[in-house]
Amino acid sequence: MSPRPILMLTALLVPALMLAACRREAAQPPSTSHANATFTATPEEARAIARDAYVFGVPMVDQYRQIHAYNIDRRDPLYRAPFNTLINFDRVFTPDDTAVVTPNADTPYSLANLDLRREPMVLSIPKIDPKRYFVFQLIDLYTFNFDYIGSRATGSNGGNYLIAGPDWDGPMPPGIDKVIRAETHLVTLAGRTQLFGPDDMENVKQVQAGYRLQPLSAFAGTPTPPPARKVDWIPSLPPDQSRTSPEFFNQLAFLLQFAPVHPSEKHLRDRFARIGVVPGGKLDVAALSPAQRQALVDGMADGQKEIESRRAAVTGRADQLFGTREELNNDYIARAAAAQIGLGGNSRVEAIYRTYEMDDHDELLDGSQRAYRFRFEKDRLPPVNAFWSLTAYTMPQQHLVPNPINRYTINSAMLPQLKTDADGGITIHIQKDSPGPGREANWLPAPDGRFMLVARYYWPKDALLEYEWSSPKVERVRGKE
C-alpha cells in the first residue's frame, strides 16, 4: 500500500487537490495537429526510457491537469477564467466544501496560470501591513518553485514584478522593481494572504483587491504584441489514467513544447525521442506492437515504484522535495514524489509542514475512542518569522472537521486567547468532545473516527530549518490501547 500524502499543500492548491473529486469522467484521447512521432527503441530499451520519461513527466502532467481545468476547459466545473487572470478565493473553506481536500484555513488563496508566450506579465503588490504575512509562489511547468514575491522574499512595501518567459530578452522597463525569468512558457502564480481570524476576512479582501496582474504592454502603455501561435489544447488525463495509460507520453510530448530544453537535460530529451516523446509530437499508440505498448506500461509501473519508494522514505516532512532546479539538482524522482505528495508545495525557506497520522504509541489517530494533546513547552513556541497553525482533517477524505464551535485550526494569531499551563507551556487539546470550560479555549475538535493533523510553519527561522527545533509529538492522553 502506498503511503498517505504528506500534503504540502496548500493547495495551490485548491485546484490540483480538488480535481480527483470533481473531474468529469474520462477525457477523450489527446490529439494535436503535429506530425506523428516515431518509435525507434527496442522493447527492452523502451521500458527503461519509458520509466525515466514517466518520472520526468509526472509533475508536468499533473500540473497541466489543474491548468486545463481552471483556465482552458470552459465546461469543467472548476473553470474560473482565461490564462493571465488573477483569481482571489476570498473566503475560508468549511466542511461543506467536500470537494476541497486539506484546505488551508489560515491564508485565503489567489491564483493565476500564466501563458507567457506573447509577452511578460506584471504583478503589482500594494503596501501591506508588515504584521500580515503574504506570499506569491512562482511555479514553472516542471513544478520548480523558481522564485517568490512576498513578506520574506521582497518585503511588505509593495512593488511591480515583471514575470517573463524564456524567449523574452527586453530591458527592465521603468517602474519595474524586479524582473523574474521563467524556464517555461506556462507558469503558476500561487498567492496566500494571512487571515488573523474569521472577523478579519474583510481586511483580507481589501488586500487581495490591491493585487493586480496585467500584461507588460498594458502596464507600460506600449503597443500590444501580436498574438502567440494558436494552440490546440489537448484534454488532460484523469488521475487514474495518468498512472497507467500510454497516452501519458502524448501528454508529456504536448507539454514539452512549452518547456525549452535545459542544457543539463538534452541527453534525456534525445532518449525520450526514441519512444516518440518529442515536443508537440503525437505517438500513435494504437499502431504500436503489443510488445512496444507493454514496454511503455511496464516502464510507467517501474517509474511509479521508484516514486513510491521515495515517498515511503519521507517521514512526516517532505520539505527537501520542493525548491528550485538548483536546489533539487535534477533529482527527478524527488520532483515526482513531491508532485504526488502535494502539488504546489512551498520551498522549505518559505514554509515547512509536518503531518501526523499516528500518535506517540504508533497508532492511527482516532477521535472516536481517544483524546490527544499537542504541547509546546515553555519558551519553545515554533521558531517562525510569520506564523504557525495546527489543523485537523477527517480521514480518508482529508476534509475539515465539522464541529459545534466552528473551529478548524489553532494558530499563533490565537495566542492571546489560549490558556497557558502551570509551567508556562501551551497545550492544544485534540478530541471529539469538549475538554471542559477551563480548556475549551485550547480545544481543536477531532472527528468521531480517524483523522490527521497538519502543522504549518510559515517563514521558518534557522532553528527550524536546521532541525534544532522539532515539531511536537501527538500524545495520547486517554483511550483504549
Q: Which residues contact 364 (CB under 8 A, 6 or more apart)?
A: 357, 358, 450
Structure confidence by residue, pLDDT tens digits, 408-428: 999 999 999 999 999 999 999
Structure confidence by residue, pLDDT tens digits, 130-164: 999 999 999 999 999 999 999 999 999 999 999 99
Task: Count CA atoms closer than 13 A to 91's CA, side-chain side.
Answer: 5
Task: Give the pLDDT score at 223.
Answer: 95
User: What residue segments make up the domains of the chain, in order of their start?
Assistant: 25-73+231-342, 87-220, 351-478
Task: Give the pLDDT score at 197.
Answer: 84
Q: Sheet harboring 409-411: ordered strands across?
A: 351-356, 451-458, 388-394, 409-411
**Residue 4: band (very low, low, confident or very high) from pLDDT cuts 50, 70, 90:** very low
**Residue 398: band (very low, low, confident or very high) from pLDDT cuts 50, 70, 90:** confident
Task: Give the pLDDT score at 479.
Answer: 61
Task: Give the pLDDT score at 333.
Answer: 96
CA distances from 480 to 205, 318, 365, 368, 425 (A): 46, 31, 12, 10, 27
Does the structure show a pLDDT above 80 at 166?
A: yes
Q: From the DSSP assignment, how many helices (H) and strands (E) are in the chain?
A: 11, 17
Give the architecture-level CATH label for domain 351-478.
Sandwich (2.60)
Task: Give the pLDDT score at 28.
Answer: 36
Please enumerate, as own/partner, the contacts of 241-245 that have beta carbons within 8 Å and a separation of 24 or more: 241/26, 241/27, 242/58, 242/61, 242/62, 242/65, 243/300, 243/304, 244/297, 244/300
pLDDT (mean) for 214-236: 96
Of 15-29, 220-234, 325-339, 439-453, the one with minimum mean pLDDT is: 15-29
Does the structure show a pLDDT above 60 at 480?
A: no
Q: What CATH superfamily is the domain 87-220?
A: Domain of unknown function DUF1254 (2.60.40.1610)
CA distances from 388 to 223, 316, 459 (A): 46, 17, 9
φ, ψ of residue 134 in degrees (nearest 5): -145, 155
Higher pLDDT, 28 or 452: 452
Task: Give the pLDDT score at 463.
Answer: 96
pLDDT (mean) for 344-348: 92
CB 397 within 8 A of CB 5: no
**Residue 39: band (very low, low, confident or very high) from pLDDT cuts 50, 70, 90:** very high
- Ramachandran category for residue 459: left, alpha or beta (phi over 0 → left; psi -120 to 50 → alpha): left
Structure confidence by residue, pLDDT tens digits, 427-445: 999 999 999 999 999 999 9
The grid cell for 424 is: 508556562
**Residue 5: band (very low, low, confident or very high) from pLDDT cuts 50, 70, 90:** very low
Q: Which residues contact 61 (CB under 8 A, 6 or more apart)?
A: 236, 237, 242, 248, 251, 252, 255
